[in-house]
Amino acid sequence: MTRLFPAFPFGTLLVNVLGCFCMGLLAGWTSDRSLRAALGVGLLGGFTTFSAFGGDTLALAQGGAMKLAALNVIANVGLGLLAVWAGRAVMTG
């Protein structure tokens, strides 16, 4: 993704949105708190890239691309929440 879009961290965004969708699937699939913690925090927490998101956003801001930094925050949070909702909706009908 970096080769195609060098000015914006679409790779990190894609992984985070996919992880959020999977979290929604998990939430709709089981109410077992231990299983959700193990798979959600353990597996999906390792898959998604919150630290990369923070680093990408800071790099954009420090490079003077404040609008892209703001877009990155809005896209990760907004699309992430939408993806969790969509994953849960898939599982619960």
Determine, yes or no, domain membership for 80: yes
**Residue 70 near residue 61 (C-beta atoms within 8 A):** no
Alpha helices in the chain (DSSP H): 10-29, 33-36, 45-47, 50-62, 66-92
* pLDDT for residue 3: 79
Which domain covers residue 54, as residue numbers?
49-93
Residue 49 is predicted with a pLDDT of 87
Q: Is residue 55, in this structure, part of any structural domain at all?
A: yes
- When divided into structural domains, the chain yields a total of 1
59 within a domain of the structure (yes/no): yes
Mean pLDDT in order along the chain per 10 residues (93 residues): 84 95 95 91 88 96 97 98 98 90
**Domain contains 19:** no
User: Is 24 a member of any domain?
Assistant: no
